[in-house]
């Protein structure tokens, strides 16, 4: 632009050029508007693609039939034991008495030490062998302080399931050992290459009345149905009631009730419904707003989803369609669940319900997952639309750059032309002013000569 536009001619050249350029910029505004529209469309397809991806993940998780076979186990007294049930459990009520829970084997050295960080024990090369169940490891303790022995055992024992610590009583310090896990499978033993430096003694009691401590005293003992005895090394017992895991807490008697967990089972169906509804709602919203010009293709997409829902699924002889499970379609295309109808259907054929969703060949989850993968995959509807829109955005950016380049040249040309005009007008104004002055002077002389 001119630094002092119109200084010679008095014309508002800057304003004239601005108005002319505003007309020239109309194609640029149009391209900019197009870019904004394309970016909005790209964002909309990105949102839809993300929703479909989330849907695909949800469907993949529901391809496991166990998602529709939840059981719950309830203990009448959780201060004695708690219980949980897996998909393979069976309905029933069981009487369980915890005679005793499993213990960690604990040992303490009868040998007393006056300090932990000064006095050394044994001589260099002295070694102890610690056994944990059927495994063993060596620890060199000679010429170490009590602190050093503890640390050496813990360093080596971390991988073998034993922990050493120190106790202090009125007589001094004692080295202790404890198995990290419970039961006779983790019974501890200690032997030495030299003198018995610690004289370990077991702290666990004789609990089975055998007259002395044995590894069996570390095990848990259960009585089932007042008739059957089960001895286990762990307080987590998963092999006495099929599909049920018992977590033992204390001695006592309880009743275990195992039944279907209908809340969790409905939760799997509602997970399916929620994921489906999210896709339908997102598609409808975008179809009616940002992607109105894609209405036909999005309606086709929705029809594909509905088609899968309305196709026979599973291998039950009792039912094969979602509506038979109490799933209905609302006016807006979303799904809802009638829990009363569903519960009756499930009670009639629980395996059939699971098959309808999770059957590997024709289950709804597998079909929906495949379709979602098709939509988002290379060459799929959503991926193709994104590719096309990105190409259009690049074209718009190129067009914008070309227009801006042309506008810059146009503006420079106008500045040059109007600068020349301004100079010309300035020259004409100067000539006009000179001639006016000369004519005024001639008129004045003529008047004076005539005696005026």
- 372 compared with 446, residue with greater pLDDT: 372
Do 308 and 380 belong to one domain?
A: yes
Q: What end-to-end distance do the CA atoms of the chain give, in Å?
A: 53
12 domain-assigned: no
- C-alpha distances in angstroms, 76 versus 94, 238, 256, 378? 11, 18, 7, 55
Do 249 and 337 belong to one domain?
A: no
234 domain-assigned: yes
Q: Look at the chain and report how many structural domains it folds into.
A: 3
Calculate mean pLDDT across residues 406-414. 73
Calculate mean pLDDT across residues 279-287. 86
Calculate mean pLDDT across residues 273-294. 84
DSSP 8-class letter at 326: T
CA distance 362 to 359: 6
Structure tokens, 190:
């200690």
Instruction: Answer with the one of 364, 386, 408 that is the final residue of a domain.
Output: 386
Calculate mean pLDDT across residues 44-63. 86
Please list, in sequence order, all residues whose beta carbon lies within 8 angstroms of the beta carbon of residue 428, skipping any fewer than 6 positions away: none
378 domain-assigned: yes
Query: Range with the lowest mean pLDDT among 35-39, 204-208, 226-230, 426-430?
Result: 426-430
Do 201 and 96 belong to one domain?
A: no
pLDDT score at 348:
92
Do 283 and 239 belong to one domain?
A: no
Q: Give pLDDT tens digits for 121-134.
A: 989 989 999 999 99
Do 142 and 154 belong to one domain?
A: yes
Q: Give pLDDT tens digits for 375-385.
A: 887 777 777 77
Q: Give pLDDT tens digits for 287-338.
A: 877 677 778 888 888 888 889 888 898 888 888 899 999 999 999 889 999 9
Do 91 and 140 belong to one domain?
A: no
Q: Identify whether the C-beta of residue 282 lies closer than 8 Å to the C-beta of residue 48.
A: yes
Sign of CA dihedral 267, 273, 276, 277: negative
pLDDT score at 422:
66
Domain coverage including residue 122? 104-216
Backbone torsions φ then ψ of 289, nearest 5 degrees: -125, -100
Do 108 and 96 belong to one domain?
A: no
403 domain-assigned: no
| % of the chain exceeding 70 in pLDDT | 92
- 175 compared with 14, residue with greater pLDDT: 175
Query: Range with the lowest mean pLDDT among 4-18, 100-114, 215-229, 247-261?
Result: 4-18
Strand partners, 94: 256
pLDDT score at 163:
97
pLDDT score at 11:
66
pLDDT score at 46:
81
The closest alpha carbon to 175, from 211, 194, 203, 207, belongs to 203
Classify 448 as helix, strand or coil: helix
Do 243 and 377 belong to one domain?
A: no
Q: Between the ranges 11-20, 212-221, 271-280, 379-388, where is the mean pLDDT highest?
A: 212-221
- 302 compared with 404, residue with greater pLDDT: 302
pLDDT score at 62:
87
pLDDT at 118 over 90: yes
The closest alpha carbon to 189, from 211, 160, 149, belongs to 160
Do 130 and 196 belong to one domain?
A: yes
pLDDT at 1 over 70: no
Do 43 and 153 belong to one domain?
A: no
Instruction: Answer with the one of 386, 403, 421 that is the final residue of a domain.
Output: 386
pLDDT class for 10, splitting at 50, 70, 90? Answer: low
- 147 compared with 87, residue with greater pLDDT: 147
pLDDT score at 85:
94
Q: What is the pTM of this model?
A: 0.69
pLDDT at 419 over 90: no
- 56 compared with 40, residue with greater pLDDT: 56
pLDDT score at 239:
94
Q: Give pLDDT tens digits for 186-216.
A: 999 999 987 778 889 999 999 988 889 999 9
391 domain-assigned: no
pLDDT at 172 over 80: yes
Q: Give pLDDT tens digits for 63-115.
A: 888 888 899 999 999 999 999 999 888 899 999 999 999 999 999 999 999 99
pLDDT class for 452, splitting at 50, 70, 90? Answer: low
pLDDT at 224 over 70: yes
Instruction: Answer with the one of 260, 290, 325 that is the final residue of a domain.
Output: 260
Do 255 and 123 belong to one domain?
A: no
pLDDT at 60 over 90: no
Do 251 and 292 belong to one domain?
A: no
- 430 compared with 220, residue with greater pLDDT: 220
46 domain-assigned: yes
210 domain-assigned: yes
The secondary structure of the chain in percent helix, strand, coil, rounded to multiples of 5, reads 50, 25, 30
402 domain-assigned: no
């Amino acid at each position: 632009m001119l630094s002092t536009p119109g200084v010679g001619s008095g014309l508002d050249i800057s304003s004239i050029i601005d108005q002319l350029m505003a007309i020239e910029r109309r194609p640029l505004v149009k391209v900019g508007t197009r870019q904004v529209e394309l970016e909005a469309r790209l964002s909309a397809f990105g949102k839809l693609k993300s929703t479909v991806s989330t849907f695909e993940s949800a469907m993949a998780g529901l391809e496991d039939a166990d998602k529709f076979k939840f059981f719950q186990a309830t203990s009448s007294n959780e201060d004695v034991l708690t219980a949980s049930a897996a998909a393979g459990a069976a309905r029933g009520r069981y009487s369980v008495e915890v005679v005793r829970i499993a213990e960690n084997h604990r040992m303490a050295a009868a040998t007393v030490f006056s300090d932990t960080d000064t006095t050394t024990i044994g001589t260099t090369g002295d070694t102890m062998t610690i056994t944990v169940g059927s495994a063993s490891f060596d620890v060199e303790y000679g010429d170490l302080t009590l602190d050093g022995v503890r640390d050496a055992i813990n360093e080596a024992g971390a991988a073998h399931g034993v922990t050493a610590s120190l106790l202090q009583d009125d007589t001094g310090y004692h080295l202790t050992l404890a198995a990290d896990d419970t039961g006779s499978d983790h019974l501890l033993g200690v032997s030495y290459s030299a003198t018995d430096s610690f004289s370990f003694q077991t702290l666990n009691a004789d609990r089975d009345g055998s007259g002395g401590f044995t590894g069996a005293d570390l095990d848990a003992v259960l009585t089932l149905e007042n008739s059957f005895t089960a001895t286990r090394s762990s307080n987590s017992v998963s092999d006495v009631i099929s599909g049920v895991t018992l977590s033992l807490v204390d001695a006592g008697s309880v009743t275990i009730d195992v039944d279907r967990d209908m809340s969790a089972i409905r939760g799997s169906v509602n997970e399916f419904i929620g994921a489906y509804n999210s896709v339908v709602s997102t598609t409808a919203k975008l179809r009616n707003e940002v992607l109105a010009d894609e209405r036909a293709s999005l309606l086709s997409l929705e029809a594909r989803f509905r088609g899968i829902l309305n196709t026979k699924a599973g291998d039950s002889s009792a039912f094969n369609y979602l509506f038979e499970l109490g799933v209905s379609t609302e006016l807006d295309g979303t799904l809802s669940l009638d829990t009363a109808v569903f519960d009756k259907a499930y009670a009639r054929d629980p395996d059939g319900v699971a098959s309808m969703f999770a059957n590997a060949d024709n289950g709804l989850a597998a079909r929906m997952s495949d379709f979602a993968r098709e939509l988002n995959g290379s060459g799929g509807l959503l991926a193709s639309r994104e590719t096309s829109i990105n190409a259009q955005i690049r074209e718009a950016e190129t067009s914008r750059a070309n227009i801006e380049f042309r506008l810059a040249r146009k503006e420079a040309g106008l500045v040059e032309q109007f600068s020349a005009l301004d100079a010309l007008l300035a020259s004409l104004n100067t000539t006009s002013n000179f001639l006016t002055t000369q004519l005024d002077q001639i008129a004045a002389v003529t008047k004076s000569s005539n005696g005026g």
